[in-house]
Structure 1
Amino acid sequence: MNKRIWVLGDGQLGAMLAHAGKPLALDVRPVDIMTPTDEQLPLAPQDIITAEREQWPESALSLQLSTHPHFINGPVFGRLADRFTQKSLLDELQVATAPWEAVDNHSNTETLHQRYGERVLLKRRTGGYDGKGQHWLKQAENSVIPTDWRNHAIAEQAIDFDEEVSLVGARGQDGQCHFYPLTLNLHQDGILMASIAPLSRLQPLQAQAEKMLSTIMQGLEYVGVMAMECFRLGDKLLVNELAPRVHNSGHWTQAGCHIDQFQLHLRALCNLPLHRPQVNFQCVMVNLIGIDKDDRWLSLPNAELFWYNKEVRPGRKVGHLNLSAHNLQQLTDSIQQLQHWMPMQYQAPLAWILAEFAHA
């Protein structure tokens, strides 16, 4: 009988986990936990539970899943979903992150500016992603703390970083950790637009990043794939955010590695053999955000399309393209073709990709 894994959430990450489970003969079943229902699932004692998100609404269904004895990493999700407890963990483990503090009834903007400078970023403790749940305090604009953010936010020092990178790794049940190469990311309005990996110029930072993420996963006794988003400041990394799950910046592994992040996560959960994934070639990932599906993308000889079959709305992730970069001329031609086909908001990210390879 195939091992059965239930996924809290049935979005694109759950769908890709289910797809990755098929070659391993794993029965991966994403569960819609956003639609209220009295349904109970036929869970068996040996089933495994994972999640594609850090938070979920409480319901009979989500409680049935999250209280199962084989809900792997159960205590970790809530701890990392709250930016206060996530930041506290990083400080406790002595992993570098931006200076911060909780925002409460005693917080005032003058003191925050004295401690952290002219620009201070407020982040909601829970729920904010893709640029949401953030509020800037700018001394020049006399910004104030929104009343309803007190006791529900943290304040961070603004970081003038050189660029954003991420590391995706996995920890097995035996405590061994395995990592993909560092990924270079470009965000626009707080939303990930494109990723490139691997890059030889990031290699000198690989050991530092692996030590940081290994410390975190070991400290949590975490099992499975975790993503660590970082700011690069010269030759130093600061953790921005952690995701206890497969991650958007790891999608390039579907094309570029012999074990992608989804299969690596399932292997770890099921105690199957783990080892460092082999990188077959360099990849570029382009997120498809708020745009209609265009079958012309399929004409690109080095492109793999992953379409999420969601309703297209502004700012919504509806798919991604993975472009292999083992042939530089072919990659350049494909990116230039996408510049002709894609709307204005894609011109800067596509130009960023071309510039990165021009300087490689």
Structure 2
Amino acid sequence: MKPVCVLGNGQLGRMLRQAGEPLGIAVFPVGTDGQPESLPIQQSVVTAEIERWPETALTRQLASHRAFVNRDIFPRLADRLTQKQLLDELGLATAPWQLLKDETEWPQIFSRLGELAIVKRRTGGYDGRGQWCLQADQTASLPAECYANCIVEQGIDFSGEVSLIGARAYDGSTVFYPLTHNLHEEGILRTSVALPQPDERLQHQAERMLSAIMNKLSYVGVMAMECFVVADRLLINELAPRVHNSGHWTQNGASISQFELHLRAILDLPLPTPVVSSPAVMVNLIGTDRDYQWLDLPLVHLHWYEKEVRPARKVGHLNLSHPDAMTLNLTLKALQSMLPQEYATGISWAISQLV
């Protein structure tokens, strides 16, 4: 089996490496400043855990690598402008938007989009960074550098946020997990809940949308699609051409994790639909040091990233899964008492999703 080189050596690359070990697949996560001569690049299939990267000796060599899967798709989806243009081309629902060119456009923008405008950097923003929620009397606070480098979207009044994690094989076949329900606070994913029997109408709608995107791009591997739920339909918020934070529950809540599924797809291995038989919950650990007391609870699986603990930084996550929702809820309540107060909202929300 060919080895896999992962451009990016953060937690996603780490978890791809962990997923490869039981299958006998050697996975090498590497930072963009890595030395090409130290890696089996020419013999490898190449993937990435990041959408954008600087020009370095390694990335220059990878730019011409014939086995860099989805290489030309990453920059297209990393730029919110070209990502939105793709969705419009496919006729897929997303929030009304436009390129933000200069400050003289604001009257027209609010006339068209309504009283709340969401400004997003075209590239580089994540976890709520590089985004501004503005009303008409607040536009002067926007940094001048944002003009021509941002898009602006209509603020959406949504009832929930969901994501769909799916994968496409080289032959065009696709598989999907059940929709994941997500809670964000200050732009950062706090908690995810997946149910084995999702809303069939929304699941079908999401699978149709993500299939259209992956087929249009001839994409291979795992892709994540984040959506707003508005009444009985979905609006696509963002796409991620990689394994995704909202799919971490699959490590302990599905027969095949999103990380193994991605490796299977890019290496052209069998790609059956993962089996999800129990409700699953993922709690992001954000700026919180690990506490092995959590492991007193038999349903809790700790995934620690070995990163320095800093405020607002994702340093790990906890996965829980059980066929009985009441048992899962009781464990979540016990876990809440072991975590700082800022986790209470996310855990209470997860419990409400499991009722």
TM bucket normalised to smaller: over 0.9
- Pair 97,42 (structure 1): closer, same or farther in 2 beyond 3 Å: same
Write out per-residue CA displacement over residues 126-172 of structure 1, whole angstroms, 9 at most, x where no aligned residue. 00000000012212546554311011000101100110000000000
Give the Cα separation in 1 of the matches to 2:138 and 2:52.
Answer: 34
Mapping 1:133-282, distance limit 5 Å: 133-141=130-138, 143=140, 145-198=142-195, 200=197, 202-282=199-279
- Pair 226,39 (structure 1): closer, same or farther in 2 beyond 3 Å: closer
Percent identity among equivalent residues?
52
Helix, strand or coil at the partner of 2:28: strand
- Higher mean alpha-carbon deviation, 211-220 vs 255-264, is at 255-264
Helix, strand or coil at the partner of 1:26: coil
Residue matched to 2:26? 27
Give the Cα separation in 1 of the matches to 2:306 and 2:294.
Answer: 16
Residue matched to 1:348? 345
Give the Cα separation in 1 of the matches to 2:153 and 2:123.
Answer: 15
Unaligned 5+ runs, structure 1 = none
Write out per-residue CA displacement over residues 87-144 of structure 1, whole angstroms, 9 at most, x where no aligned residue. 0010011111111010113752111101101110110000000000001221254655
Unaligned 5+ runs, structure 2 = none
Give the Cα separation in 2 of the matches to 1:163 and 1:199.
Answer: 18
Give the Cα separation in 2 of the matches to 1:106 and 1:345.
Answer: 37
- Counterpart contact for 1:302–1:330, Cα < 8 Å: no
Write out per-residue CA displacement over residues 261-301 of structure 1, whole angstroms, 9 at most, x where no aligned residue. 00110001000111211113210000000001010111111
Residue matched to 1:287? 284
Deviation at 1:85, TM superposition (A): 0.5
- Counterpart contact for 1:109–1:145, Cα < 8 Å: no
Helix, strand or coil at the partner of 2:162: strand
Residue matched to 1:8? 7
Give the Cα separation in 2 of the matches to 1:191 and 1:16.
Answer: 20
Matched, 1:48 2:45: yes
- Counterpart contact for 1:49–1:70, Cα < 8 Å: yes
**Letter of the 2:19 counterpart:** A
TM-score, L = length of structure 2:
0.96
Q: How many residues align?
A: 355
C-alpha root-mean-square deviation of aligned residues, in Å?
1.5
Mapping 1:58-97, distance limit 5 Å: 58-97=55-94
Residue matched to 1:307? 304
Helix, strand or coil at the partner of 1:341: coil
Deviation at 1:329, TM superposition (A): 3.0
- Higher mean alpha-carbon deviation, 121-130 vs 140-149, is at 140-149
- Higher mean alpha-carbon deviation, 264-273 vs 104-113, is at 104-113
Moved over 6 A (4+): none
Write out per-residue CA displacement over residues 295-317 of structure 1, whole angstroms, 9 at most, x where no aligned residue. 01111111111000100000000
Give the Cα separation in 1 of the matches to 2:263 and 2:34.
Answer: 27
Aligned match for 1:331, one of 314, 328, 331: 328
**Letter of the 1:31 counterpart:** V
Give the Cα separation in 2 of the matches to 1:48 and 1:133.
Answer: 32
**Letter of the 1:22 counterpart:** E
Deviation at 1:336, TM superposition (A): 1.1
Helix, strand or coil at the partner of 2:37: coil
